[in-house]
Structure 1
Amino acid sequence: MNDAQSKKAGKILLLFLTIGMGFCIFLGTIFYQNFASRKLPNFQAKRIESAIRGNIYSSDGFLLASSKKVYKAVVNTHNINPQKKELFVNLFSIYSKIPKNQILSKLEKKGNVTLSYAIDSKSASYLKQLNLKLNQLDVFQSYEDENGHIFKYGLSVVESGESRDYLYQDTMEPILGYINKQNETNITRVQGVKGIEKSFDNELEPMSDLLMIGQRDIGFNVILNKHSTFKERMDGYDVITSIPLKLQKKIERLADENAAQLGAKEILIGIIESKSGKILSLASSARFNPNLITKNDYSKLNANAIEYSYEPGSIIKPIIYAILLDKNLITPNETIDLENGRFRLHNFYITDTHRLKSATAEEVLLYSSNIGMAKIAQRLSPPEYNAALQAFGFGNPSGIDLPYERVGVIPDIKRFQSEVYRATASYGYGLRTTFIQMLKAYNIITNYGISYNPYLVEYIQDSKSIRYKLKHQTPIRILSNKTAKEVKDTLIKVVNEGTGKTAQVKGITIGGKTGTAHIAQGGKYVRKYNSSFFGFANDEKGSEYTIGISVFEPNETEAYFATRTAVPLFKEVVNLLVKENYLKP
């Protein structure tokens, strides 16, 4: 075989080898495609949308507290083109409304930087659009990490949780309450800490997030069909309070003005609809803004209307008088020896402001005689005394729908065996009550002997605006109708003839009782006082309200008596109720 033939045979062999190799590759590919595991494109999509906490509304429809979704904006500083950093800062500042100097300060850190955790949904939408523009302008560049991996990220805007907004700042505080934040799987949730936010935390809490899993369309949207998974988003229930915002703000203004004028530590004002227990206002002069709580607010965070107990002083006298009357242990017209204003009980002396030789049992209440109350209270046996005070709600929770309620302190049966203890308790010392307990007790008298639990929330409402009225405890009769009416008539005389004269409002029936109580500090009574006026205001059309005023530690040395502090404020409150058409002369 010559050289030419050898070259030709070699070419033919090479051709056959090439064809054979190609055929083997073809067979191998066919085998791999049929038998090897393959990574197919993902045709599934998943969408999650967080539910949020329910809102709180006033009874007149104003939004008091609401939640909204917030987003965070994250950028990796390595991805920002140094030559276009200024452009990024300028545009991000315009879209986010965050000052440039704050953005620049955060960008000094290297790597992933969170520029803001509190971007609202509208701004988040704008920032997502901005990210597309920034990519078109080549603001972002690729970078290689120390392991040789190449990354290119833009501006990331993702949901970070929810924030709580109190639209009227300190209004209705501290009974509205406040929240704290908790991180759950990188999502910030809020939880009630105090007030209505706490007591209705379970109802307000979001119930379930939206979840959609299924096949996707070309736009990566989930296609809902029988093969997909769908879980509806269910936000928390809305809570509707019994308090009208317009009235509450005006009552709070009265509390603020009087607290400033009297130099009082705090003023509490409560108004209950007598026939239901519904609270129309529960106002304090010591309030805070839950949107921005500072160290100076710490002393105001507790709702002192339910969390602070104090010796009530003479405002307890109508309660003791009613108990005695109901048990037929006194009659209004019987004569009580008042010892000319000074009475010795064992080694304890009791004195009266009005030094009288004697008075009827009703006049004992009318002139607020400590001696008279001390004497008639002895007719109650220790078990009767203790049980009757408990029946009026003292020493027990009032049932109000707020958390952390204190129950105060009443003497036990053993202590009531002491005549001195029975005496001092009858005019408001040696026992401790809360503001709301006293308001509830007076409402029993106002409402002709029937006890209602006070409440602040009337309804909860779902996302479809369907309202569910809350059930409240069945009312209980504590006094006979006859006894309650007699005590009411006596309290009207206190206003018309006694210590409550300055509470009178023309055309409105008003009754009540004053009380000025010494404050005990370090085991002894000091020259500090709490003054109160509790009573009721009725009109001829059947509107009846039980009203309580407590002025804590007024610093006016000559004006600490209830007749100078709580009574004039009571009159202002009644005039406001007339002006706002709750009462009609």
Structure 2
Amino acid sequence: MQIPTKFYKIIAIFSLFFLGILIFLGVVFKIIVEKRKLPRLYIEEKNRALRGSIISAEGYQVAYSNKLYKVAVNTRCIDPQKKELFVRLFSIYSKIPPHEVRQKLRQKRGYVVLSYTIDTKTAYQLKILSRKLNALDIFIPYKVGQRVIKQGLTILESGETRNFPYGDTLTPAIGYVSKYEDSGYTKIKGIKGLEKYYESKISPKQDGVIRGKRDIGNNIILNKEAFIKKRLDGYNLHLNVNMLLQKNIENILDTQKADLEAKEIIAAVMESNSGKILAIASSNRYDPKNIQKRDLPSLNPKFTEYPFEPGSVMKPMTFSLLLEHGLVSPLEVVRGYNGRMKLGRKYITDEHKFDWLSAENVIVHSSNIGIAQLAQRLSYLQFSQGLKMLGFGKPTGVDLPYEKGGKLLPPYKLKSEIYKATVGYGYGMTVTFMQLLSAYNLFNNDGYKVTPRIAAFITLENGKRIFLKKSKKRKILSSKTVATMHNILQKVVEKGTGTVAKIDGLEIGGKTGTAHISRGGRYQNAYITSFFGFANDAKHRYTIGVTVFEPKTKHFASQTAAPIFRNIVIELINEGYLIPKNEQ
């Protein structure tokens, strides 16, 4: 029996129908289970917080941060007929030369980064340009498989950059920063100086975030469902440093470094009663934005990180301890041995030869022999504990990181006559510049110790000031001892080793110090010279320090550090910080 042809046709139709249903179900199943790249209903925008600024006493931004943006384009989406128009418009808005844009577009086909260093203002202009390019139909779609892709300019935050508009001014105290990557975003952190010390204050606090539903233009709809977290930048740090005074003192140091052929010169000016540092300068500076290999020795500030044997600037410290314990009278007579005295197996010599001199003239004329004899009157504990009381052997607490404390001899070694003598005139121990500045400040602040401070306060986003913690004043020396030392240091300038620092109409006192440098256990014909003291008028009191490292054309402090001290005082007069009596 033959099966009709019609039957086969019906079977074929049903088979095709059944196959179509299977194909349909397969497609539906694939759509259900396959991860689809649909446009997100919710999107998020992040507004990165910035590091706070560092601002001088008169309001100049010494350091501040800017955002950097990355701008990219998909070259496949640029209409070949309008490519040159794109190049010209992009060049105008970005200020990138047209030939550089063309070169980048030729590098490869696809996603191309045109710049990583677009600033905030330019990024805003490029966003406007992006909309204009879309309106001009410069961007066209292309297909990848079943997907249709159309992309315009992509403008994204790429990182943060630190700017130092005054170049090397205030370095190395201000310090520098380094970059690091965090999820593709370049961040910065302080490495040295104020940038490091106040990292917790000036670092960004909170990134801003906006999250919500998007509209057809891919913009967030700001309604009650949107989530908004406010951006909080780092606090601004305000300094006690006056930039005009700072720059002028740096110029003085630059000139003197060249004249003396010195390795480095450092200086600082501090308001005596408050500890505010008005200037802290070095001749060896660097550009924090562009540090070179030659700058490496200058990155560590010598103010706090370079302990050295101070020499004769320690004599007033020894004398003040003698006065405090009632072991010396300024007018008593001390033997000078005509400039050469044997102590144990050692000979101690003086530059200025005396047979006899008063105790106060031991300081005025900087007698090693005189102070070596007087120092023997202190017990080893009185001497050791006294030096610590004056602030030696420990950090001062100034607002710079990595501060060194210097090194004192173990107390028992001060039982030795030789050690007691050498420490009495500034050898056998190491101190820092900042320790000396702080100690000399006692003689101009009625014996009260204050912590030196470069920064004054921080400001919040709303402008509110938060003053940084002030140190409590501590009475270290009696008023009687201070008055005597104040008078003796003035005599050093009037008739002793510091006469070059004298300026009529001002109360000026201080002490010179010339110390040999020890290398490999032997003292060399290389020197560190210093002058520390004060300059006052009727209303203002300032403590000033100068240290010269390895001068070559001259080596006595009276010829090197003291003239620089005088020039700094003249600058304080010029800027109105001091007014001589004859000008009042």
Flag whether TM exceeds 0.5 (same fold).
Answer: yes
Counterpart for residue 494 of structure 1? 492
1:524 maps to 2:519:
no
Aligned partners of 1:215 and 1:141: how far apart in 2? 26
Counterpart for residue 345 of structure 1? 343
Counterpart for residue 112 of structure 1? 111
Counterpart for residue 237 of structure 1? 235
1:426 maps to 2:424:
yes
Counterpart for residue 130 of structure 2? 131
Aligned partners of 2:113 and 2:218: how far apart in 1? 27
Counterpart for residue 576 of structure 2? 581
Question: How much has 1:215 moved relative to structure 2?
Answer: 4.6
Unaligned ranges ≥5, structure 2: 1-13, 15-20
Counterpart for residue 8 of structure 1? none
Change in Cα spacing, 1:294 to 1:104, as seen in structure 2 (3 Å) is farther
Aligned partners of 2:146 and 2:415: how far apart in 1? 88
Counterpart for residue 5 of structure 1? none
Counterpart for residue 480 of structure 1? 478
Question: How much has 1:148 moved relative to structure 2?
Answer: 7.6
Map 1:10-29 onto structure 2 (within 5 A): none
Aligned partners of 1:433 and 1:108: how far apart in 2? 62
Map 1:44-83 onto structure 2 (within 5 A): 44-81=42-79
2:550 to 548, 553, 556: 553
Counterpart for residue 197 of structure 1? 195
Question: How much has 1:472 moved relative to structure 2?
Answer: 2.0
Specify the code of the residue in structure 2 equivalent to 1:180. S
Q: Secondary structure at the match of 2:411?
A: coil
Change in Cα spacing, 1:373 to 1:101, as seen in structure 2 (3 Å) is farther
1:377 to 366, 375, 381: 375
Unaligned ranges ≥5, structure 1: 1-16, 18-23
Counterpart for residue 313 of structure 1? 311
1:364 maps to 2:362:
yes
Question: How much has 1:411 moved relative to structure 2?
Answer: 0.8
Change in Cα spacing, 1:230 to 1:139, as seen in structure 2 (3 Å) is closer
Counterpart for residue 172 of structure 2? 174
Aligned partners of 1:77 and 1:390: how far apart in 2? 70
Aligned partners of 1:220 and 1:131: how far apart in 2? 14
Question: How much has 1:133 moved relative to structure 2?
Answer: 3.8
User: CA RMSD for the aligned pairs?
Assistant: 2.8
Q: Secondary structure at the match of 1:506?
A: coil
Percent identity, aligned pairs only?
46
Figure out how many residues of one structure are paired with residues of the other and give that number: 555
Alpha-carbon displacement from aligned partner over 1:387-407 (angstroms, at most 9, x marks no partner): 111111111011101101111
Map 1:97-496 onto structure 2 (within 5 A): 97-110=95-108, 111-137=110-136, 139-143=138-142, 151-215=149-213, 222=220, 227-496=225-494
Change in Cα spacing, 1:508 to 1:281, as seen in structure 2 (3 Å) is same
Aligned partners of 1:220 and 1:93: how far apart in 2? 26
Question: How much has 1:121 moved relative to structure 2?
Answer: 1.3
Alpha-carbon displacement from aligned partner over 1:25-78 (angstroms, at most 9, x marks no partner): xxx9xxx9xx999x9986545332111111110011111111111101112344
Aligned partners of 1:336 and 1:412: how far apart in 2? 28
Alpha-carbon displacement from aligned partner over 1:268-319 (angstroms, at most 9, x marks no partner): 1111100011111111111111121111211111111111111111111111
Q: Secondary structure at the match of 1:212?
A: strand
Alpha-carbon displacement from aligned partner over 1:188-239 (angstroms, at most 9, x marks no partner): 1111111111111111111111122345567665555654433221111100
Aligned partners of 1:424 and 1:102: how far apart in 2? 68
Alpha-carbon displacement from aligned partner over 1:478-530 (angstroms, at most 9, x marks no partner): 11010011001000001001111111111101000011111112221111111
Map 1:22-41 onto structure 2 (within 5 A): none
Change in Cα spacing, 1:203 to 1:382, as seen in structure 2 (3 Å) is same
* 382-391 or 194-203: bigger deviation: 382-391
Specify the code of the residue in structure 1 equivalent to 2:575. E
Change in Cα spacing, 1:215 to 1:134, as seen in structure 2 (3 Å) is closer
Map 1:83-94 onto structure 2 (within 5 A): 84-94=82-92
Counterpart for residue 9 of structure 2? none
Counterpart for residue 5 of structure 2? none
Aligned partners of 1:178 and 1:139: how far apart in 2? 44
Q: Secondary structure at the match of 1:310?
A: coil
Alpha-carbon displacement from aligned partner over 1:322-379 (angstroms, at most 9, x marks no partner): 0111111111122111211111111111100111111111111111000111111111
Aligned partners of 2:229 and 2:154: how far apart in 1? 27
Aligned partners of 2:39 and 2:433: how far apart in 1? 68
Aligned partners of 1:61 and 1:81: how far apart in 2? 50
Counterpart for residue 11 of structure 2? none
Aligned partners of 1:404 and 1:76: how far apart in 2? 49
Aligned partners of 1:64 and 1:372: how far apart in 2? 48
Specify the code of the residue in structure 2 equivalent to 1:548. G
Question: How much has 1:103 moved relative to structure 2?
Answer: 3.5
Alpha-carbon displacement from aligned partner over 1:114-166 (angstroms, at most 9, x marks no partner): 22111011111222233344445554455566x78654433211111211111
